C-alpha cells in the first residue's frame, strides 16, 4: 500500500508587524494572510481591513504594496500556483522508472491538495469568476508550464520503455490527475454527508489516495 508523502506543514498566518525594511518579506506576509481571507470569503467578501488587522498594519500599507484589492487577489493566485509548482520541481521524477514516477507525481498531487484546502477554495472561487482575474496575470501560464512538462516527460519515457500506451495528451492526463485530486477535497463534505462515509479518517484517506493512483496508472499503462 502506498503511504502518503509527508508534506511540509503550511506556515501559520503572519501576525508580526511587517518589516518595512524588507519589502519582499512584507509582501510575502501580506499574501499569506490574504490567501486565507480570499479562500474563505472570495474576492467580494474578503476585506482589506481584516488582512491589515491580522498583519498589525494599515490598509494604506497594503495598498502601497499591491495597489488594489484586485491586484492583491491576483498576487495570491499567482503565489498559490507558484508554491505547488515549486514543490513539484523537487520531486526528481527523472530518477525513477516511468510508472514509479507517475505514481509519485499522482500521490504528490493528492497529498498536496488535501494538505492545502485554501488552494482548492481559491481555484473554486476563481472559477466562479470564470478565470477573469487569473487571466490578468502576466506569469500564470509560465508558472504552469513545468507541470505539463513533468507529465509529458514521464509519459514519453514510458512510451519509449514500452510500458505506457500511445495516444494520450499530456495536458489531458494532467487534467485527469488534477480533477481526481481536486474532487477529493472540494466535494468531501457533501459526499460524506450524502453517502454517510467518513472520508477524513486516516484509513479512508490512504485508501482513496491508493485508488486515485491506481486509476491513473491503469489508464496510462499499456
Domain spans, the chain = 10-67, 77-220
- Model confidence band, residue 57 (pLDDT cutoffs 50, 70, 90): confident
Helix, strand or coil, per DSSP, at residue 129: coil
Nearest CA to 84 out of 65, 110, 58 is that of: 110
pLDDT value, residue 2: 54
* Mean pLDDT across 72-100: 95
* Mean pLDDT across 57-65: 92
Count of other CB atoms within 10 angstroms of residue 61: 15
Tell me the pLDDT tens digit for each residue of 172-208. 999 999 999 999 999 999 999 999 999 999 999 999 9
- CA separation for the pair 218, 222 (Å, rounded): 8
Residue range 10-67, CATH number: 1.10.10.60
CB burial of residue 45 (10 Å; 0-12, 13-18, 19+): exposed
pLDDT value, residue 13: 45
- Of 6 and 67, more confident: 67
* Mean pLDDT across 7-13: 44
User: Do the domains at 10-67 and 77-220 have one common CATH topology?
Assistant: no
pTM, entire model: 0.85
Kindly report the average pLDDT of the chain as a whole number.
90
- Model confidence band, residue 216 (pLDDT cutoffs 50, 70, 90): very high
Say yes or no: domain 77-220 is CATH 3.40.50.10310.
no
- Of 3 and 59, more confident: 59
The pLDDT of residue 19 is above 90: no
Helix, strand or coil, per DSSP, at residue 164: strand
The pLDDT of residue 5 is above 70: no
Beta bridge partners of 164: 221
* Mean pLDDT across 22-26: 88
Tell me the pLDDT tens digit for each residue of 136-166. 998 988 988 989 999 999 999 999 999 999 9
Amino acid at each position: 500500500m502506498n503511504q502518503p508523502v509527508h508534506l511540509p506543514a503550511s506556515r501559520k498566518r503572519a501576525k508580526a508587524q511587517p518589516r518595512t525594511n524588507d519589502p519582499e518579506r512584507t509582501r510575502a506576509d501580506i499574501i499569506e494572510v490574504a490567501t486565507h481571507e480570499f479562500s474563505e470569503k472570495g474576492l467580494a467578501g474578503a476585506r482589506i481591513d481584516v488582512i491589515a488587522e491580522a498583519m498589525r498594519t494599515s490598509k494604506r500599507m497594503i495598498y502601497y504594496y499591491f495597489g488594489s484589492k484586485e491586484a492583491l487577489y491576483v498576487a495570491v493566485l499567482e503565489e498559490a500556483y507558484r508554491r505547488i509548482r515549486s514543490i513539484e520541481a523537487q520531486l526528481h521524477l527523472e530518477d525513477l522508472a516511468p510508472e514509479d514516477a507517475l505514481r509519485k507525481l499522482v500521490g504528490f498531487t493528492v497529498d498536496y491538495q488535501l494538505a492545502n484546502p485554501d488552494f482548492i477554495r481559491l481555484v473554486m472561487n476563481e472559477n466562479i469568476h470564470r478565470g477573469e482575474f487569473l487571466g490578468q496575470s502576466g506569469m500564470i501560464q509560465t508558472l504552469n508550464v513545468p507541470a505539463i512538462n513533468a507529465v509529458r516527460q514521464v509519459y514519453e519515457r514510458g512510451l519509449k520503455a514500452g510500458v505506457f500506451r500511445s495516444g494520450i495528451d499530456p495536458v489531458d492526463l494532467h487534467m485527469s490527475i488534477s480533477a481526481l485530486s481536486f474532487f477529493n477535497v472540494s466535494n468531501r463534505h457533501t459526499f460524506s454527508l450524502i453517502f454517510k462515509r467518513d472520508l477524513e479518517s486516516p484509513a479512508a484517506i490512504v485508501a482513496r489516495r491508493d485508488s486515485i493512483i491506481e486509476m491513473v496508472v491503469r489508464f496510462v499503462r499499456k
